[in-house]
């Protein structure tokens, strides 16, 4: 029979394991189930079949033995909330030792949307797995999670409708300063859409390879994708990034507010929300003033530190010179004589000074 290099088996009974394998192209029957009773139970998780190529032929007995005894070497890869497929695939290629070009090609062929096809999570994945099979597994797992969550809320799952929430959730993921703000940001998105306003959000332009790029006026002017919410109305046609369930929940259940604007606070303290443009301008002015104040304080601290460093260097230099003077060797007897004369004169001078500095009471005693 033909087998892949790495085989995945879900948790469950022997019957469930064989049923899963049959659904994925392995022809196993009742006799194979009996054979497993003498070999052992199928392990769950990723199985390394010990093959050199992605697919090859082996006997059924060898296949059954390997799924009962083999385990694949795993690597831990985390898809962070708000990260894009571009950076995640690069990390997969590095950690799982996969050909990058082949991985990206398979992604573009198999993905339903440009992003948001893989749920944000930490994955333990087999090293050396076929790129196509790896992506199929990740996509299938994510779809099952999406379906489970949608069914819990709506009692059904329609992929096209669901991905509209994923798109909004991805904007929330990029724009929110914290999970506590997600429903408020969601409220702003729905309020602006209801009033036929452009979203005009920087986060939508942090898609793909631009995930960590600072959005500039030039970028806004030149980007012609639907991710550019400064140019186009409505939401983008694809999610911006991977999302977590908190963002999805916020997209489905937005806060009931009147906010249309929000401005990032100085120092990472979330956002200031406003219901009208006048209030928004006040928030902008406040933020700009605080930024100037912080910059002024920062510059002053920097100058103080430089001054302290300069003084410290001078002290070190002075001390070094003093140490050299103290440790300077005496070369001849003439220098010794000169030093003794200097000490005697110094002592006499000190005695005279002490007498001058005596208090009136002490002076009275001498009369």
pLDDT tens per residue across span 9-61:
787 777 887 888 888 788 777 777 777 766 776 777 777 776 666 666 777 77
- Is residue 252 a contact partner of residue 165, using CB atoms and an 8 Å limit? yes
Percentage of residues in the chain having pLDDT higher than 70: 77
> What is the band of 112 on the pLDDT scale with cuts at 50, 70, 90?
very high
* Nearest to 354, CA basis, from 339, 366, 342, 340: 366
Distance CA 208, CA 135 (A): 17
- Is residue 263 a contact partner of residue 188, using CB atoms and an 8 Å limit? no
State yes or no: pLDDT of 208 exceeds 80.
Answer: yes
- Is residue 9 a contact partner of residue 17, using CB atoms and an 8 Å limit? yes
- Is residue 205 a contact partner of residue 276, using CB atoms and an 8 Å limit? no
- Is residue 274 a contact partner of residue 283, using CB atoms and an 8 Å limit? yes
pLDDT tens per residue across span 138-165:
999 999 999 999 999 999 999 999 999 9
pLDDT tens per residue across span 328-361:
554 454 444 555 555 555 565 555 555 544 443 4
What is residue 346's predicted lDDT score, i.e. its pLDDT?
57
What is residue 336's predicted lDDT score, i.e. its pLDDT?
47
Pairing of strands 6-9, 45-48: antiparallel
More confident residue, 305 or 200: 200
What is residue 340's predicted lDDT score, i.e. its pLDDT?
53
Distance CA 245, CA 248 (A): 5
Where are the chain's structural domains? 2-69, 73-275, 276-328, 329-367
Percentage of residues in the chain having pLDDT higher than 90: 51
Three-point CA angle 288, 292, 298, nearest 5°: 140
What is residue 45's predicted lDDT score, i.e. its pLDDT?
77
> What is the band of 84 on the pLDDT scale with cuts at 50, 70, 90?
very high
For the chain, give the mean pLDDT. 83
Give the single-character DSSP code of 229.
Answer: T
Distances (CA, A) of 186 to 80, 129, 210, 237, 259: 20, 38, 23, 17, 10
State yes or no: pLDDT of 74 exceeds 80.
Answer: yes
pLDDT tens per residue across span 353-364:
555 444 434 423
pTM above 0.75, yes or no: no
What is residue 80's predicted lDDT score, i.e. its pLDDT?
97
State yes or no: pLDDT of 307 exceeds 80.
Answer: no
**CB under 8 Å to 179, separation ≥6 — which residues?**
246
Alpha-helical (H) ranges within 235-276 are 245-252
What is residue 295's predicted lDDT score, i.e. its pLDDT?
73
- Is residue 169 a contact partner of residue 245, using CB atoms and an 8 Å limit? no
- Is residue 108 a contact partner of residue 118, using CB atoms and an 8 Å limit? no
């Amino acid at each position: 029979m033909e087998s892949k290099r790495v085989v995945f088996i879900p948790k469950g009974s022997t019957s469930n394991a064989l049923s899963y394998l049959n659904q994925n192209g392995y022809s196993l029957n009742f006799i194979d189930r009996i054979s497993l009773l003498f070999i052992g139970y199928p392990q769950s998780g990723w199985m390394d079949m010990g093959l050199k190529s992605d697919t090859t032929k082996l006997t059924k007995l060898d296949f059954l033995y390997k799924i009962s005894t083999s385990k694949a070497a795993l690597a831990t890869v985390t898809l962070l909330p708000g990260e894009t497929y571009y950076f995640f695939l690069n990390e997969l290629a590095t950690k799982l030792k996969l050909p990058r070009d082949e991985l990206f090609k398979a992604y573009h062929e198999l993905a339903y949307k440009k992003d948001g096809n893989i749920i944000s999570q930490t994955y333990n994945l087999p090293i050396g797995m076929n790129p196509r099979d790896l992506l199929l597994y990740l996509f299938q797992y994510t779809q099952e999670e999406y379906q489970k969550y949608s069914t819990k809320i709506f009692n059904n799952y329609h992929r096209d409708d669901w991905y509209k929430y994923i798109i909004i959730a991805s904007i929330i993921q990029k724009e929110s300063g914290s999970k506590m703000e997600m429903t408020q940001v969601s409220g702003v998105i729905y309020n602006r859409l209801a009033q036929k306003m452009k979203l005009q959000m920087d986060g939508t332009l942090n898609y793909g390879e631009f995930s960590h790029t600072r959005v500039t006026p030039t970028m806004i002017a030149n980007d012609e994708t639907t991710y550019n919410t400064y140019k186009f109305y409505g939401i983008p046609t694809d999610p911006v990034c991977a999302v977590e369930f908190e963002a999805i929940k916020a997209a489905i259940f937005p806060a009931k507010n009147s906010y249309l604007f929000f401005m990032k606070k100085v120092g990472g303290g979330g956002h200031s929300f406003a219901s009208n443009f006048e209030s928004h301008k006040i928030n902008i002015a406040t933020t700009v003033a605080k930024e100037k104040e912080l910059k002024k304080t920062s510059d002053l601290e920097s100058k103080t530190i430089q001054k302290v460093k300069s003084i410290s260097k001078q002290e070190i230099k002075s001390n070094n010179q003093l140490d050299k003077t103290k440790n300077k060797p005496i070369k001849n007897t003439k220098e010794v004589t000169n030093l003794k004369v200097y000490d005697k004169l110094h002592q006499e001078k000190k005695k005279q000074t002490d007498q001058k500095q005596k208090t009136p009471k002490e002076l009275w005693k001498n009369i």
